[in-house]
Amino acid sequence: MNEHLMNIFTREIISRLPRTKKNVYQFIEGMEDQLASQCETKEQFLTLLAEKSPYQQAADRFHMSLQEMHELMKAIEDEINNRLDLKIKKHRWIDYTDKVLKNQEASNQNKKFFLFVS
């Protein structure tokens, strides 16, 4: 499926999470994204993750133990992935390129036509 559409689905799922889960998820993801933007290599990113520990900061902020935070984040990610899988199964792309172009002259452009069924 189209990566852009998957991102839209994921954002929509996150927006519908209960407030606490959404806040925890966005806090950790935001910190990880911020750290990743500061790095040029995977090794730099892993070093910053160890130094800044987004999970520990989230645990402190939301008054949880580090273990509880890891378990909560795992549960949130599982919930997002399960909902995303269901959304993907309910949607499909149908290639209508041949039907649309059948009666048109061939052009030099590489056009594709899809029908999105929800």
pTM to 2 decimals?
Answer: 0.76
Q: Region 49-56: what's the mean pLDDT?
A: 96
Residue 70 confidence (pLDDT) above 80: yes
Residue 111 confidence (pLDDT) above 80: no
Of the candidates 31, 20, 38, the one whose C-alpha atom is nearest the C-alpha of residue 53 is 31
Helix axis angle, 3-15 relative to 66-90, nearest 10°?
Answer: 120
Distance of CA 15 to CAs 8, 65, 67, 113, Å? 11, 25, 25, 30
* Average pLDDT value over all residues in the chain: 88
Q: Region 37-61: what's the mean pLDDT?
A: 96
